[in-house]
Amino acid sequence: MTQELALEAHGLVKKFGGKRVVDGIDLSVPKGAIYGVLGPNGAGKTTTLRMLLGIIEPDAGHRTLMGSDSPREISDDVGYLPEERGLYPGMKCKDAIAFMGALRGLDWKTDRTRAVELMEAAGLGHAPDMKIRKLSKGMAQLVQLLGSVVHRPRFIVLDEPFSGLDPVNQERLEQLVLAERDRGATILFSTHIMAHAERLCDRLCVIAGGKRRFEGTVADARAILPMRVLYEPHHDSGDIAAILPPDARREAEGWRFTLPEEGIEQLLVRLIEAGHGISGLSIERPGLHEAFVEIVGRKTVEEMA
Question: Please, what is the minimum distance in Å from the beta carbon of residue 281 to ligand ATP?
Answer: 39
* CA-CA-CA-CA dihedral for 106, 110, 111, 115, to nearest 10: -150
Choice between 38 and 100, CB closer to ligand ATP: 38
Question: Please, what is the minimum distance in Å from the beta carbon of residue 300 to ligand ATP?
Answer: 11
H/E/C letters for each residue in the chain?
Answer: CCCCEEEEEEEEEEEECCEEEEEEEEEEEECCCEEEEECCCCCCHHHHHHHHHCCCCCCEEEEEECCECCHHHHHHHEEEECCCCCCCCCCEHHHHHHHHHHHCCCCHHHHHHHHHHHHHHCCCCCCCCCEHHHCCHHHHHHHHHHHHHCCCCCEEEEECCCCCCCHHHHHHHHHHHHHHHHCCCEEEEEECCHHHHHHHCCEEEEEECCEEEEEECHHHHHCCCCCEEEEECCCCCCCHHHHCCCCCEECCCCEEEECCCCCCHHHHHHHHHCCCCCCEEEEECCCHHHHHHHHHCHHHHHHHC
Question: Please, what is the minimum distance in Å from the beta carbon of residue 158 to ligand ATP?
Answer: 12
Question: Please, what is the minimum distance in Å from the beta carbon of residue 50 to ligand ATP?
Answer: 8
Question: Please, what is the minimum distance in Å from the beta carbon of residue 197 to ligand ATP?
Answer: 13
Choice between 37 and 271, CB closer to ligand ATP: 37
Choice between 95 and 160, CB closer to ligand ATP: 160
Choice between 85 and 131, CB closer to ligand ATP: 85
Question: Please, what is the minimum distance in Å from the beta carbon of residue 187 to ligand ATP?
Answer: 17
Choice between 22 and 96, CB closer to ligand ATP: 22
The answer to whether 78 touches 29, Cβ cutoff 8 Å, is no
**Per DSSP, what are the bridge partners of residue 14?**
22
Question: Please, what is the minimum distance in Å from the beta carbon of residue 218 to ligand ATP?
Answer: 20
Choice between 23 and 180, CB closer to ligand ATP: 23
Question: Please, what is the minimum distance in Å from the beta carbon of residue 16 to ligand ATP?
Answer: 3
Site for ligand ATP, rule CB under 6 A: 16-17, 21, 39, 41-47, 83, 192
Choice between 23 and 77, CB closer to ligand ATP: 23
Choice between 195 and 281, CB closer to ligand ATP: 195
